Structure 1
Amino acid sequence: MNLLIELLAFAVAIGVLVVVHEYGHYSVARLCGVKVLRFSIGFGKPLFQWVSPKTGTEWTIAALPLGGYVKMLDERENVDTPIPADLLSQTFNRKSVWRRFAIVAAGPVANFILAIVLFGVVFATGVTEPAAIVATPTANTLAARAGFEGGETIVAARTGNAADSEPVRSWSDLRWKLLGAAFDHKRVILSAKDRHGTSDFQLDLSGLGEKDIDDDFMSHLGFEPGGGTLIVAGVQAGSAAQQAGLVTGDRLRAVDGVPTANATTFIAYVKAHAGQPLTLQVERGGSGKNANANANASANTTSTPATQGKLEDLRVIPQMQRDDATGQQVGRIGAELATQVPSIDVRYGPIESLQLGARRTWDLSVYSVRMFGRMIVGEASLKNLSGPVTIADYAGKSARLGPSAFLSFLALVSISLGVLNLLPIPVLDGGHLLYYLVEAATGKVVSDRWQLVFQRAGLACIVALSAIALFNDLARLIHF
């Protein structure tokens, strides 16, 4: 059943994104007076064809649904069959360089517009997110040095020399504001409430490098969602956790007398105490709910905190195991953990939703370009590249989470498709745009000979990237 959901979600995602991208090319081509011969979704043998009596365009759905194309009337592709004189004005190659530029750029631009609309819909309809409550930060992190102690609720942020603060409505909102400040190498002032009132905390993000901005960006700064409950989502057979008496549904309240409500800090503590007995204070009963997470990892769920149950002390000795990431021996107890954090319903007005959608699309586009640049210079791993298998997996997962998650996923992939196509690689839209910029600057068309050379190089680049992405997909499937 899960496989069927993944395949259907993947088909819908690819179908929507390809149609939008190619319709961008098609619509601007029509506006510029270019005759479109074929609009194809997919490649290979046509499964369905229909010719528009008004425009003469052939609409096609082909057998291989991993892309699409718009074929326009072009003298360079009709060498053997001369184009009738009355149609020469409708050929692509006879249009001005800026019209050709607009036609090619319209595909990626359509993807960005789609992302803005999708994000706007998500923001307008509302989404449940973790509240911006800070857990106790790890020592010597930026959050700890700024003065955060844990339990503060961040309500506003001011970046650089800005006069006014912007409200922080959720944990996701906080992350994006800090990510933007980090990219711009600015300091940010966070306003947070606790039991003593409202205080300002200053973070200087100017010293962060590109290598510091990754998926664990918030953890590196010392920020983890707080105010919630750390629960046991599963216990591995024969593990130290099972021997100690931990069971699914237990809520971890403290380790060695230190309160804990965050999986990241708890796991770090366990890793550092391999073979040493630890005392866990757990709570059983009450109204806590189980949550699913990956083994030895944390997952945020949008549930309300559990009511008080029975408190017990358990003695556990972490087993020494090799950490695949570092190669060092660390402690593990074999428990699957999840963090239940206070949640908040975030909803915006129509205009503000579109503004936020545009800002989110811009931020993600900049992040994608910088991440790709980091991979080129070796500052980021090529493991960040994903192919169709991973996309299908995430499509299925987001579809099972609900409409908001699936729309956000569509927006994210649409941005990735837009950015990818704008890269200055021949055979992609960005490569053609580069040709037109050269033509506009020099007044001369890039020769067919050089275009052929660049096209072969670009094709080799695309094949290499596709091979790496497919290898990463397979590696994730078989975990090697």
Structure 2
Amino acid sequence: MNLLIEVLAFAVAIGVLVVVHEYGHYSVARWCGVKVLRFSIGFGKPLVQWVSPKTGTEWTIAALPLGGYVKMLDEREADVQIPAGQLPHAFNRQHVAKRFAIVAAGPVANFILAIVLFAAVFATGVSEPAAIVAAPAANTPAALAGFDGGETVVAVRNSDGGRGEPVRSWSDLRWKLLGAAFDHHRVILSAKDSHGTSDFPLDLRDVAEKDVDDDFMSHLGFEPGGGKLIVAGVQAGSAAQHAGLAAGDRLVSIDGKPADNATAFIAYVKTHAGKPMTLQVERGGDAQQAGKSEEIHVVPLAQRDDATGESIGRIGAELATQVPSIQVRYGPIESLQLGAHRTWDLAAYSVRMFGRMLTGEASLKNLSGPVTIADYAGKSARLGPSAFLSFLALVSISLGVLNLLPIPVLDGGHLLYYLVEAATGKAVSDRLQLVLQRAGLACIVALSAIALFNDLARLIHF
């Protein structure tokens, strides 16, 4: 069933993105007076064909659905001589500004789609984890900033002044810190707890590029807090069983520190192999003891970590976190503004990430291919409409940015040709374009191979 959901979600995602991208080219070409011969979704043998009696455009759905194209009237690609009356409608006869607009319209359409999708999510509302910080690990940036755990971050601002930006959820906090880390800024986090609102200076100037990944917040010491940490199960013969822990127990604190996040709890246990710990527990599994609070003393057993080879502490308990969430919703105008802002930020982030991968500052492992996209498409679809629309917007932005890269065979390569033509007054020769296209194709094949390798590495964990 999960495989079917992934396949369907992937097909819908790719179909929507390709149609929007190609329709951007098509609509601006028609607006510029260029005759469009074919609008194809997919490549290879046509499965469905229809010719518009009004425009003469052939609409096609082809066998290989990974992409699409718009074929325009062009003297360079014509098999037979084009009648003189149709030459004004040929793409190659258009002014360079029109050709530039037609080619740029595809990626622009992807960005517009992302804005609309994000706006829809913001307007309809989405449930997200609250920006409550769990007790951070020692010596992490969060701990050095002064967080003890339990604080709710409400705003972020640059340390050199400026207007603070409100933080509405955990994902909002993550995104703002990610941008500050990329720019190597120091920021001030305003957070409130039972004592009021305080400022926490966070230095992100020395965050390593390798740490700007999916575990970015964990590297900083930030984990969602304020939730309930529940014992989901206890292994037979484990330290947890000997100490008296049982399924359904709620872990309130560990050595006096709030226990509201599984990742932080596990990290603390790992550093206490053979050392006694005191757990404050609320009984939940036994109906007669439900709600009863008591202290439990447990000594984590020392075990070898297969990943690092080091000795770490384990108590043998399976944990589940119930994180508090909030409903985030905005008005129509603000939703569009936030959608545009989120699209811009993500596009800029993608460009910077591509640049840093080229210079070696970021790992090529960040590249993903169709397998990962299908996996995330299925996961987001199972989470609900808001998650799937957000995923679709993210991939649409990635597609737009990718097509704007100045690589021949991509839209960005053609735009580069037109910029050279506009600056020099001469078109790039067909011979040079052919050489550059072969080099560009080699780049695309190499990137695709790396992305596919990364997909397989994630799939089989090697």
Give 1:329 deviation, angstroms: 4.1
User: Retained in 1: the 8 A contact 2:136–2:221?
Assistant: yes
1:43 shift after superposition: 0.8
Whole-angstrom CA distance in 1 between matches of 2:398 and 2:242: 46
| Deviation of 1:367 (Å) | 1.4
Deviations 1:353-375 (A, max 9, x none): 11111111111111112222222
Greater CA deviation, 403-412 or 378-387? 378-387
1:113-151 CA-to-partner distances (Å, cap 9, x unmatched) read 111110111011111111122222233333333322222
Shift of 1:241: 5.1
One-letter code of the match for 1:103? I
Identify the residue that residue 291 of structure 1 maps to in structure 2.
none
Superposition RMSD in Å: 2.5
Partner of 1:75, secondary structure, is coil
CA shift digits 1:154-205 (9 cap, x unpaired)? 2223235554333222122222222233333333222222222222223343
Tell me what 2:7 maps to. Answer: 7
Cα distance between partner residues in 2 of 1:201 and 1:122: 31
Per-residue CA shift, 1:69-88, capped at 9, x if unaligned?
1111110001x400010110
How does 1:134-283 map onto structure 2 within 5 Å? Answer: 134-234=133-233, 246-276=245-275, 278-283=277-282
Matched, 1:417 2:392: no
| In 2, Cα distance between equivalents of 1:433 and 1:243 | 68
Counterpart CA distance in 2 for 1:179 and 1:129 is: 18
**Structure 2 vs 1, CA of residues 72 and 242 (structure 1 numbering), >3 Å: closer, same or farther?**
farther
Q: Residues 250 and 284 of structure 2 are in contact (CA less than 8 Å); yes or no, is this contact kept in structure 1?
A: no
Q: Which one is further off, 25-34 or 231-240? A: 231-240
CA distance in 1, matches of 2:443, 2:162: 46
Which residue in the other structure is 2:82 paired with? 83
Per-residue CA deviation, residues 402-438 of structure 1 (Å, 9 max, x unaligned), is 1101101101111111111111111111111111112
CA distance in 1, matches of 2:172, 2:153: 10
Partner residue of 1:317 out of 293, 300, 319: 300
Pair 279,169 (structure 1): closer, same or farther in 2 beyond 3 Å = same
- Rate the CA distance shift 1:47–1:441 in 2: closer, same or farther, 3 A: same
Query: Where does residue 55 of structure 1 map in the other structure?
Result: 55
Match of 1:451 among 423, 426, 433: 433
Relative to 1, partners in 2 of residues 1:382 and 1:186: Cα closer, same or farther, differing over 3 Å? closer
Aligned mates of 1:248, 1:376 — CA distance in 2:
49
Q: 3-state DSSP class of the match of 1:55?
A: coil
Matches of 2:428 and 2:189, distance apart in 1 = 52
In the aligned structure 2, how far is the partner of 1:351 from the partner of 1:444?
Answer: 44
8 Å CA contact 1:5–1:396 kept in 2: the answer is yes
Identity %: 82
Q: How far did residue 259 of structure 1 move?
A: 3.4
Aligned to 1:25: 25
1:401 maps to 383
Aligned to 1:172, the other structure's residue is in SS state helix
User: What are structure 1's unaligned runs of at least 5 residues?
Assistant: 289-306
Task: Give deviations 1:38-89, integer Å, cap 9, x for gaps.
Answer: 00011111110000111100000011111111111110001x4000101101
How far apart, in 2, do the equivalents of 1:473 and 1:331 lie?
32
Return the offset for 1:220: 2.7
Q: Structure 1 residues 320, 446: closer, same or farther in 2, change over 3 A?
A: same
**Corresponding residue of 1:121:** 120
Deviations, residues 326-381 of structure 1 (Å, cap 9, x unaligned) = 45443444544333222111111111111111111111111112222222222322
Alpha-carbon distance, 1:261 to partner: 1.7
| Corresponding residue number in structure 1 for 2:104 | 105
Give, as a single letter, the amino acid of the residue that structure 1 aligns with 2:112. Answer: I
Question: Alignment partner of 1:431: what SS?
Answer: helix
Matched, 1:346 2:328: yes
Instruction: Provide the C-alpha distance between the structure 2 equivalents of 1:416 and 1:367, rounded to a whole number of angstroms.
Output: 10
Stretches of structure 2 that go unaligned for 5 or more consecutive residues are none
Alignment of 1:327-346 (within 5 A): 327-346=309-328
CA separation of 1:242/1:385 partners in 2, compared to 1, >3 Å: closer, same or farther? farther
Q: CA deviation at 1:452?
A: 1.5
Q: What is the aligned length?
A: 460
Q: Distance in 1 between matches of 2:32 and 2:423?
A: 22
Q: Does 1:94 align with 2:93?
A: yes
Change (3 A) 1:58 1:316: farther
Show the counterpart of 2:421: 439
Measure how far apart 1:209 and its partner are.
Answer: 5.0
Contact 1:158 1:190 (C-alpha < 8 Å) held by counterparts: yes
Which residue identity lines up with residue 181 of structure 1 in the other structure? A
Q: Which residue of 2 aligns with 1:471?
A: 453
Contact 2:254 2:280 in 1 (8 A): yes
TM-score w.r.t. the length of structure 2 is 0.92
Distance 1:287 1:373 in 2: 56
Which whole-Å CA distance do the structure 1 matches of 2:294 and 2:256 have between them? 13
Counterpart Cα distance in 2 of 1:415 and 1:179: 17
Name the residue aligned to 1:373. Answer: 355
Do 2:247 and 2:285's aligned partners in 1 also have CA atoms closer than 8 Å? no
Change (3 A) 1:156 1:257: closer
Which stretch shows the higher mean deviation, 147-156 or 104-113? 147-156
Conserved in 2, the CA contact under 8 Å of 1:421 and 1:430? yes
Q: Displacement, 1:6?
A: 1.0
Kindly state the Cα deviation for residue 10 of structure 1 after the two structures are TM-superposed. 0.8
Q: Residue 313 of structure 1 aligns to a residue in which SS?
A: strand
Contact kept, 8 Å, 2:180 with 2:186, in 1: the verdict is yes
Q: Which moved more, 1:264-273 or 1:49-58?
A: 264-273
Partners of 1:323 and 1:330 within 8 A in 2: no
Q: What is the distance in 2 between the residues matched to 1:77 and 1:287?
A: 77
